[in-house]
Amino acid sequence: MKIKTRSINLSDKILVVFFIFTLIVIFLVKFLTEIDWAYLFILAYILLTVAFIFAYTISRWFSKRLANVVFKIEEMAAGNFSENLKTGTKDEIGQLAHAVNELMSRLNTGIAQDVSKHKELSQAKTDFVALASHQLRTPLSIIKWYIDFVLAGDAGEMNEEQHKYLTEAYESNERLIDLVNALLDVSRIDVGTFSIEPEPTDITERADKALEKFTEEIKEKKLHIERLYDDIPLINLDRRLTKMFFENLISNSVKYTPEGGTVQIVLRKTEKDVLIKISDNGCGIPREQQPNVFTKMFRADNVKRMESVGTGLGLYITKAIIEKSGGRIWFQSPSFDLLLDPKKQSNVPIDKQNQGTTFFITIPLQGMKRKIGTKKLNSIE
Amino acid sequence: MSEGKKTILIVEDETAMREALVEKFKKSDFETFNAPDGEEGLKIALKEKPDILMFDILMPKLDGISATKKIRESSTWGKEVPIIMLTNLSDPDSVSEVASYGVFDFLVKTDWRLEDVVALVKKKLGMV
């Protein structure tokens, strides 16, 4: 459609110029030769008609060729570099077409180089992460075991203070181990080498098993845990991965819900899927950061301000597990806009704050899709 | 071999790690043998016939999986002796290969506390 409008536009301009020019000539002829008006008009009419047809044809021809070039440029802008333009004649439009072809072939080679360079880079990055995390695990376990050795009193008695400091060191090391494990998982996800091995599994058992990991924290923060489970038949699930994504989501809920808050885990059987809903009434996710929730190393600004630890990799890993196994994941968080003008922020009604976050996952009743891979993700089972 | 004490062979190429395990098991009243690579580990295993063996997977000269295979093929003792695999990575391929030699205990080092390792060994030997 665009081509048509443009060609008519150009033809119109040429025609208008031509028409005005002809009128001037007619008046000049009349003025200079004193020819009879009637003859002059007939002559002018014939001339104009011929000229009109001639001009229209020529201008159509030009603008059509020009429109082809424009169309090609638009295609290039949209990322299509496939076909070359016909250059045809050697006039200006022909030269223009030739120049566009030249540009296109240069862009083509440039893009091909960029793509292969990008692939190389991302492969190198992934290799590095895999290697680094593997190499890091040896010293990390050595640190772990020696602290453990001393903490157990195997290297002599310790006083309370020493025990306390060493426990801190032990816990930091555990965090480092978690981070390295998560990084390794991410590299396996990015390269696509992780496997999904579904077997008949009781999903409610998996949810409870994941919940067990947080017993202490839940007790400490006096959180209410609501478990609303439908009667769900055995489904083909990868047991490790299922526990892992439950752990990731419950961990977030427990971490970001204030003392006395509520964490709800709902497992519902729908017609085709199992719907998993994990909600809390924690600090929520700032609206302008919601689009980044599933990206690597994401940590929302409001939780960064809280004293809490996190790798920012859990949701990225969770999303990869769910989507690679044929499920869906999304969330709702009707939280306030964090980065707004602070004055405006006070306008947000209190009940709109701390409304928490709800994560939804669906897994088809026929189970997770099997995925052949050489590596497992590191769940802590 | 002193009377009554259970014996364990620890084969691990990382010195610090090997020593941590050896010391911990000594403290837990085990008689320990250790080796820095699979070849020497195999030699000691066949000579001393310990009650339980612990092999790292990635090691110089002879890796833990090949050593396991040779031990299983060696004698009646070798067929029966419990073997625990130490690893840094969960790798399903090696898991299934070693499982075919009757080894089902894979310790991902970073996931295990020392006392839990000892507890597992004691359980394997029927000491608890």
Report the percentage of chain B scoring pLDDT > 90.
30
Q: What is the pLDDT of residues A180-191, one digit of tens each?
A: 888 888 877 877
C-beta neighbour count of A61 within 10 angstroms: 13
Would A58 be classed as within a structural domain? yes
Confidence of residue B18 (pLDDT cuts 50, 70, 90): very high
The pTM of the full predicted model, rounded to 2 decimals, is 0.62
Domains and CATH numbers, chain B: 6-124 (3.40.50.2300)
Q: What is the pLDDT of residues A215-253, one digit of tens each?
A: 888 899 898 888 898 888 899 988 888 888 999 999 989
- Could A146 and B20 be called an inter-chain contact, meaning their C-beta atoms sit closer than 8 Å? yes
Would A108 be classed as within a structural domain? no
The two three-digit tokens of residue A229, written as one number: 């489970």
A362, containing H or E segment: strand A358-364
Would A148 be classed as within a structural domain? no
Residues A204 and A74 reside in one and the same domain: no
Q: Does B21 touch chain A (CB under 8 A)?
A: yes
Q: Of A264-278, A305-319, A342-356, B107-121, give the lowest mean pLDDT range.
A: A342-356
Would A340 be classed as within a structural domain? yes
- Could B91 and A375 be called an inter-chain contact, meaning their C-beta atoms sit closer than 8 Å? yes
Q: What is the pLDDT of residues A201-217, one digit of tens each?
A: 899 999 998 898 888 88
Question: Which residue in A has a C-alpha nearest to residue B27's C-alpha?
Answer: A154
Q: Does B116 touch chain A (CB under 8 A)?
A: no
CATH number, domain of A282, equals 3.30.565.10
Nearest chain A Cα distance for residue B43, angstroms: 25
Domain stop point among A39, A60, A80: A80
The two three-digit tokens of residue A199, written as one number: 């077997």
Would A271 be classed as within a structural domain? yes
Report the percentage of chain A scoring pLDDT > 90.
9
Comparison of pLDDT for A305 and B25, the residue scoring more:
B25
Question: Which residue in A has a C-alpha nearest to residue B28's C-alpha?
Answer: A154
Length of chain A: 381
User: Which ipTM did the prediction report?
Assistant: 0.83
Q: Does B19 touch chain A (CB under 8 A)?
A: no
The two three-digit tokens of residue A323, written as one number: 């989507």
Say how far apart CA A122 and CA A88 lie, in whole Å. 43
Those residues with Cβ within 8 angstroms of residue A367's Cβ, 6 or more apart along the chain or in another chain: A198, A235, A236, A237
Would A242 be classed as within a structural domain? yes
Nearest chain B Cα distance for residue A372, angstroms: 11
Q: Report residue A227: phi and psi, to 5°.
A: -115, 110
Q: What domain count does chain A have?
A: 2
Closest CA to B11 of B54, B44, B72: B54
Mean pLDDT (chain A) is 80
Would A207 be classed as within a structural domain? yes
Which burial class, exposed, middle or buried, applies to B112 when counting CB atoms under 10 A from its CB (0-12, 13-18, 19+)?
middle
Would A86 be classed as within a structural domain? no
pLDDT at residue B26 in the model? 92
Q: Where does chain B have alpha helices with state H?
A: 15-27, 38-48, 64-74, 76-80, 92-99, 114-124
Domain stop point among A48, A80, A112: A80
Half-sphere exposure for B122 (CA within 13 Å, toward CB) = 13
Q: What residues in B contact A180, CB-CB < 8 Å?
A: 110
Say how far apart CA A368 and CA A38 lie, in whole Å. 90
Q: Does B70 touch chain A (CB under 8 A)?
A: no
Alpha carbon of residue A150 to chain centroid? 46
DSSP state of B7: E
Q: Is A192 left (phi over 0), alpha (psi -120 to 50) or beta?
A: left
Domain stop point among A80, A114, A140: A80
Domain that includes residue A51, residue range = 2-80
Q: What is the pLDDT of residues A133-152, one digit of tens each?
A: 777 888 898 999 999 999 98
In the predicted structure, residue A157 carries a pLDDT above the cut 80: yes
Residue A138 is nearest to which of B14, B27, B91, comparing CB atoms? B14
Q: Of A87-101, A143-157, A244-258, give the lowest mean pLDDT range.
A: A87-101
